[in-house]
Amino acid sequence: MKQTILVCDHCQGPKRKDAVATLSLLNGRARGTSATSLDLCEPHRREIVNAFKPRGTYKSPKTGQPSRVRARRSQKEMAEFRKAVAEFVKAQKQVSNKMVCTKFGVAGHQATKVLAELVAAKRLKKQGHSAKAIYITV
């Protein structure tokens, strides 16, 4: 009786480890002769599988936790927020976009939008550009 023992295709040298898995890289089409398969030992299988795992750029939310996505602010909420930002600027004399973000716990684009609206309404004056901009009461 003849037996075939698969050995790792990735190991070098005469003493190659026994293969524990056969991996194939496919593109979703029906299997054909173009699919390449590798017979791998456990350390090399782990290495290949880890190469295809996502690298922590996306973290899925925990189940049961409320999502951080918030509904759009209503007109009334935006008016109150504009008023609160104007009072904050008046009390501080001069503020930056980052100061508004940390004080009110909002995203940078929301603070920038409200500060730009107050500048357009001539309630604030802007000095500087981009992240170095400073807003002063008029």
Per-residue model confidence as pLDDT tens digits over 93-110: 889 999 999 999 888 888
Evaluated on CA atoms 90, 103, 58, 56, the torsion sign reads positive
**Residue 127 and residue 79 share a domain:** yes
Q: Which helix (H) or strand (E) holds 49?
A: helix 42-51
CATH number of the domain enclosing 127: 1.10.10.10
Q: What is the pTM of this model?
A: 0.49
Strand bridging mode 94-96 / 124-127:
unpaired
pLDDT tens digits for 67-83?
A: 566 567 788 888 899 99
Give the structural domain span for 50: 1-26+35-54
- Determine the 3-state secondary structure of 114 from DSSP: helix
The pLDDT tens digits of the residues spanning 49-60 come to 888 877 766 666
Residue 69 has a pLDDT of: 60
User: Looking at the domain assignment, is residue 101 inside a domain?
Assistant: yes
Q: Which amino acid is at 131?
A: A
31-49: pLDDT as tens digits: 665 567 888 999 999 998 8
In a domain, residue 62? The reply is no
